[in-house]
């Protein structure tokens, strides 16, 4: 019994710090993931090292390097880092595997492709999209590099934004919250009680008082908001009352626009809410959310059910917590009812979506995200011309755009000469105009006829000689592994476009093409 308990506790201890970020559900998703790495050079190895340390379930290294097996050696070292990870290797050229065995990739959760030439990357992207496998392409080249994600659709429930307004519903308090606020005397002359009334109660009471005096309207203009703050200050007994200071600082929460945000409106109006038996659980829940909003009197989303820390008597704070939790539970049950009804309607088991998943969805309903990515073929063949032109003319983004074009151009030159520009010092002077010609060809295909690249940057790309400089490779590999974790755990929002690293100026930017 003790041994079993120790075995259960061991992963908790090993992954303690990251569990605080993505929780048990996120870690469980990682431990189920099967990741494939193509080419285990510096960039790919750095990415895989981070994932193995993070506790992914299984990794497969594909590399056809001649001589001593690089795939076997990397696999052995990765296993030493975390013996709980199942590490395998395939000694075959990634390019040959893409050409001869496309079904090989369908077994994986994510494929990480590093240092692949353009032709092979295009073919791999097509294979992964057809099999609904996430592709993360990473490349480091001298002092630059890129990371891009390719998947038809990626949905996120726990997007975990850095800053988000607390869901307190002070602009639209429900009955139980109103009743509790009314039962609390905010004019109590006992200084101890008065200075420990939670600011939520103060704002609910004073917002109601304001609305009664203003034809039912809450403060909306700058002047009205200033007057509302003055109203709060008038109820202070002493200047050192922290709870009233908190009420003044949070007074803007009373003026929140009711209803739902444009981002969430766009999601619930998506055609994917017309669900069928093949729809994902996410879209079934969104369809249920749409019905929930339509059936709610005030058209609000489910309440999150948490409150922030605040100055308060313990009994007040606990009572508020219970009121918010009860409302959140009530909303969750209502949404669950809609979910079961929809599942039954599309001939699926009404209990096929777990209560825990529905609860997490309700808690994060305001933070849902849907990411859709164009294929690499679309990006190359029909880039968003307005965006391309904007990036080229923008002083901040022009270098990132230059690097993007040149990274594609070196592949074209390598396809023609069987080597990257600058590999031989004696040929750098000849490679510069060759690379420039290849870059002009790329820009012409992008619709940038007449645009010019930095001559210094073209020369620098030749001087790089196709090298994977380890600090750059470590950084690019780190970004790639970070995105893989986001995609596997379905937490946080992945990169919306192509991440470009400019090691010359120490800048990173994302291009949406």
What's the pLDDT score for residue 247?
96
Last residue of a domain, one of 202, 223, 255: 255
Ordered DSSP codes for 172-238 = S--HHHHHHHHTS-TT---HHHHTTS-HHHHHHHHHHHHHHHTTTPPP-SHHHHHHHHHHHHHT-SS
Using a CB cutoff of 8 Å and minimum separation of 24, what contacts does 124-129 make? Answer: 124/38, 124/98, 125/150, 125/375, 125/376, 125/377, 126/375, 126/377, 127/98, 127/102, 129/375
User: Does any domain span residue 223?
Assistant: yes
Residues 3 and 145 in one domain: yes
Query: Would you say residue 311 lies in a domain?
Result: yes
**Same domain assignment for residues 392 and 456:** yes
Q: Are residues 140 and 40 in the same domain?
A: yes
Q: How many domains does the chain have?
A: 4
The whole-number average pLDDT for the span 421-444 is 92
If you average pLDDT over every residue of the chain, what do you get?
A: 93
Kind of pairing between the strands at 110-114 and 153-156: unpaired
Question: Do residue 146 and residue 126 come from a single domain?
Answer: yes
Asked if the model's pLDDT at residue 362 lies above 90, the reply is: yes
Structural domain includes residue 330:
yes
Domain boundary residue, one of 330, 350, 372? 372
- Residue whose pair of structure tokens reads 């600058």 in the numeric block: 422
Q: What mean pLDDT do residues 280-304 have?
A: 92
Question: Do 483 and 358 fall within a single domain?
Answer: no
Per-residue pLDDT band for 14 (boundaries 50, 70, 90) equals confident
pLDDT of the residue at 10: 66
11 and 119 belong to one structural domain: yes
Task: Judge if 460 and 478 occupy the same domain.
Answer: no
436 and 414 share a domain? yes
pLDDT score recorded for residue 4? 44
Q: List C-alpha distances in Å: 506 to 114, 400, 403, 502, 503.
A: 22, 11, 13, 6, 5
Q: What is the pLDDT at residue 8?
A: 45
137 and 79 within one domain: yes
Domain membership of residue 169 (yes or no) is no
Domain that holds residue 190: 175-255
Q: Is residue 170 part of a domain?
A: no
**What's residue 183's pLDDT?**
94
Residue 434 lies in a domain: yes
- For residue 50, the domain's CATH number is 3.40.50.720
Task: Give pTM, 2 decimals.
Answer: 0.91
Provide mean pLDDT across the span 50-68: 90
How much of the chain, in percent, has pLDDT values that exceed 90? 82
Are β-strands 34-38 and 58-62 bridged in parallel, bridged antiparallel, or unpaired?
A: parallel
Q: pLDDT higher for 448 or 290? A: 290
Domain boundary among 201, 222, 255: 255
Q: Are residues 216 and 309 in the same domain?
A: no
Instruction: State the average pLDDT over residues 167-181.
Output: 94
**Residue 297: count of CB within 10 angstroms of its CB:** 7
Within-domain flag for 379: no
For residue 7, the model assigns a pLDDT of: 45
| Phi, psi of 388, deg, nearest 5 | -60, -45
pLDDT reported for residue 488: 97
pLDDT of residue 297: 66
For range 60-65, the mean pLDDT: 91
pLDDT at 2: 44
Over residues 272-299, mean pLDDT: 93
Residues 137 and 4 in one domain: yes
Q: Is residue 158 part of a domain?
A: no
* pLDDT the model gives residue 17: 86
| Residue 187 shares a structural domain with residue 293 | no
């Amino acid at each position: 019994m003790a041994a079993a308990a120790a075995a259960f506790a061991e992963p908790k201890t090993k992954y303690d710090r990251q569990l605080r970020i993505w929780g048990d559900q996120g870690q469980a998703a990682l431990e189920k993931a099967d990741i494939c790495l193509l080419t285990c050079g510096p960039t790919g190895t750095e990415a895989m090292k981070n994932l193995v340390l993070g506790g992914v379930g299984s990794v497969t290294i594909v590399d056809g390097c001649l001589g001593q097996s690089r795939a076997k050696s990397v696999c052995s070292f990765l296993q030493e880092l975390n013996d709980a990870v199942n590490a395998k290797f395939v000694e075959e050229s990634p390019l040959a595997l893409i050409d001869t065995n496309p079904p090989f990739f369908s077994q994986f959760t994510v494929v990480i492709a590093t240092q692949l030439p353009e032709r092979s990357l295009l073919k791999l992207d097509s294979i992964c999209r057809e099999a609904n496998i996430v592709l993360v392409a990473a490349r480091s080249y001298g002092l630059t590099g890129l990371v891009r994600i390719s998947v038809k659709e990626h949905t996120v429930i726990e997007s975990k934004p850095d800053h988000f307004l607390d869901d307190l519903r002070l602009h639209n308090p429900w009955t139980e919250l109103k009743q509790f606020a009314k039962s609390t005397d905010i004019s109590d002359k006992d200084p101890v009680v008065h200075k420990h009334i939670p600011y939520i109660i103060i704002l609910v009471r004073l917002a109601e008082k304001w609305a009664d005096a203003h034809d039912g309207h809450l403060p909306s203009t700058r002047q009205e908001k200033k007057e509302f703050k003055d109203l709060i200050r008038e109820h202070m007994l002493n200047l050192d009352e922290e709870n009233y200071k908190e009420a003044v600082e949070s007074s803007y929460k009373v003026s929140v626009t009711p209803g739902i945000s444009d981002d969430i409106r766009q999601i619930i109006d998506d055609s994917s809410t017309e669900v069928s038996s093949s729809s994902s659980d996410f879209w079934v829940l969104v369809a249920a959310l749409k019905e929930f909003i339509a059936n709610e009197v005030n058209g609000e989303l489910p309440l999150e059910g948490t409150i922030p820390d605040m100055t308060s008597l313990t009994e007040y704070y606990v009572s508020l917590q219970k009121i918010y939790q009860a409302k959140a539970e009530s909303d969750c049950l209502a949404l669950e009812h809609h979910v079961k009804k929809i599942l039954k309607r599309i001939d699926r088991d009404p209990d096929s979506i777990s209560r825990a998943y529905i609860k997490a969805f309700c808690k994060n309903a305001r933070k849902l995200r849907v990411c859709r990515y164009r294929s690499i073929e679309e990006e190359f063949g029909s880039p968003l011309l307005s965006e391309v032109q904007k990036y080229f003319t923008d002083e901040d983004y022009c270098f990132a755009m230059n690097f993007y074009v040149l990274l594609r151009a070196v592949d074209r030159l390598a396809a023609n000469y069987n080597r990257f520009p600058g590999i031989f010092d004696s040929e750098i002077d000849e490679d510069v105009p060759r690379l420039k010609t290849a870059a002009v060809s790329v820009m012409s295909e992008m619709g940038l006829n007449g645009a010019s690249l930095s001559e210094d940057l073209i020369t620098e790309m030749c001087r790089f000689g196709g090298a994977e400089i380890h600090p750059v490779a470590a950084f690019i590999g780190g970004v790639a592994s970070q995105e893989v974790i986001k995609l596997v755990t379905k937490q946080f929002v992945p990169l919306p476009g192509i991440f470009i690293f400019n090691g010359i100026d120490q800048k990173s930017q994302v291009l949406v093409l």
